[in-house]
A and B are shown apart, each in its own frame.
Chain A
Amino acid sequence: MLAISTTRRATIGRTPRFWGITRGELFKISRLRSTWIMGILALGISILPWFALSFIPRQRASLVAHTISSTLNNVEGNLSLMRVFLGIFLIILAVQTIGLDYQQGTIRIILARGVDRLQLLGAKALALFIVSVIALAGWFLWELILGTVTLSLVGGGFGLFSALNGTFWQDTGLYAITVVVSALASVALAIAATVLGRSVAFGMAVGLGFFPIDNFGTLILRVISIVTNNTFWAQLTRYLLGPALNYMPIAALPQTTHIVATPSGPVNEVSGAFSLGINPLYTDNFVHTLLVALVYVLAFAALAIVLTWRRDVKE
């Protein structure tokens, strides 16, 4: 056994700092191995569509003939999948980041050291935001690398890649924004659910169950609307989070036809957004879907903040 240091440490009087707490949370996230395995697996799976594009002859031919539309279709398909998978990944991560501290009681250790409850919640949210940004940026980069490699392989150089015009990049960027919004909404949902239930199990159940339920809810509202012969119920679907997020890319990227120069001359290309999931029964514009998402995020944040602030820590 070592002797106890008898010198008074220079830490007397210091107070826990926000960035330190955030760093501690990031450290804990870095130790959640299962989550990382899932993330890496998802990156691996996202190779498949590009693989198909380079090796399935028909797809390959279409890529050469209609570079922009087929690349955009592929990117949209991938981003659409990514929206769902990254959402699940971030929900699990957020539930663990918030819930494990409650479940294992470690929250009382941190709070008993003078860390403010809201400060801790904020630090966790910031840590999750940082991880989300890294995950999103990492995945976008990964898609970019895969796309570049695929186009170079198929085109035998950078010819196909340079055919991608400004509209393509703008559309891709818009789609990416919808993925970011969706990711942030998922994290906010998971945080609120876990704070509410103060356990990993509850957070997972609500966090992962929310979107399937409100997607399915659209169908139920449709049935109710038909049975009651009242469009009120169908109108409600305009305000469901899941359908709004599903529809957001479609609203952001309306079907457009444009003339594009290709190696074989100018071609008419139709590009439109592809998105997974059920859409609202009445559709609105991009801004509406953004507002719906924003209202939900604010509501989730308010719920998490009020509960964290008001409740005793009994863990």
Chain B
Amino acid sequence: MTDSNSKMPAGMAPGLIALGLATAYLVALLGAEKQAVIISLLVLGIGAVVGAAWLGLFDRVSRSFADHEDALGGSAIVAALALAAYFHEDHFVLLLVVTVLLTSVATLGLNVQFGYAGVLNFAGASFFGVGAYTSAVLNAYTSVPHLIVLPIGGVIAALIGSMLLLPVLRTRGHYAAVVTIAFALLFKTFLEVNDVLGGPQGMQVKGMNILGWSFNDNIEAGGITISFYMGYFLLSLALLIAAFVLVRRLERSWIGLNLDALRLDETAASCFGLDITRWKITAFLIGNFLIGIAGALFGMVGGFVGPNNYTFADSLILVSILLLGGIGNPWGLVVATFIVVVVPEKLQTIQEYRFLLYALMVIGVLLFRPEGLLPRPVRRYFPRWRP
């Protein structure tokens, strides 16, 4: 069966239909205000997902995406733009969507580290925070152009990460995971006692300003008011697209193969010439770079950073997104990020129980779909290429 499947190109229709339904559903969910409506929508969504999985529709959708990813990826961008246009006045919804986009960038980074290289990072939120603090400090004390501040945030997160992990990545086992846990716990204390970084009160972050265009002003155009979050939305979307393309190319290269090989069997990999430490560090640097950039932009979006924003618990949420979405599948990660970020925000009644909810979701997925909502397909270096 797999044989005939892999040879017959799937149509674009399943992908387009799924994308359309998902967008319509999101518009309804994001726009809903009454808790009763939101709960009904969520029940409907869960029912639809379970039903679709039951009928095997997911496999058709994912094959459709695999065979037409450029066209469907383009459609996804159009759908995101349409969604933002629909909510152009709504600060709250746009902020939520920006949060999803930037969290997705961070989980793509974690995915390179854990999904490909097998290096667990339990300090994802801390490195995100490193990016945000970079923005706060650079925007306050220097005149570095804000677009340059973003990659600097990424570089600093990567540097700190490599300083922490260089000594332990040579060893086998999960020392790296332990070191990241220690870092996540110490990070908060370090910020609290550090007056230059604002101590327990945290710091204001100046908003993004590109050549005199301040992102923190609403845009008035021809009688309509567009939320100032629109600029951040567009920039975050561009960042996500770039990160997505980067991670996908990485997976479809010899480097992606190296990372898989060393994750699955270090001994065999080194018997075929792989420098294990070099590639683990490369993966960690790339992942932290993405996390740091996303954090730097998110700092500017929120306008504030504090020690309590980026805790160990937030790092665990990032890891749970990875488990939920399907380790190694960028599409799955974006979907899972939507679920994990949007549901508790909309469903005020469960805010307090959100960790319980995450735990239940992760356990449910591990039990019934151990490879995540959208499992990672076998690598095709050029998906449309046929021998």
Is A bound to B? no
Task: Enumerate chain A interface residues (CB-CB to B < 8 A).
Answer: none
Task: Enumerate chain B interface residues (CB-CB to A < 8 A).
Answer: none
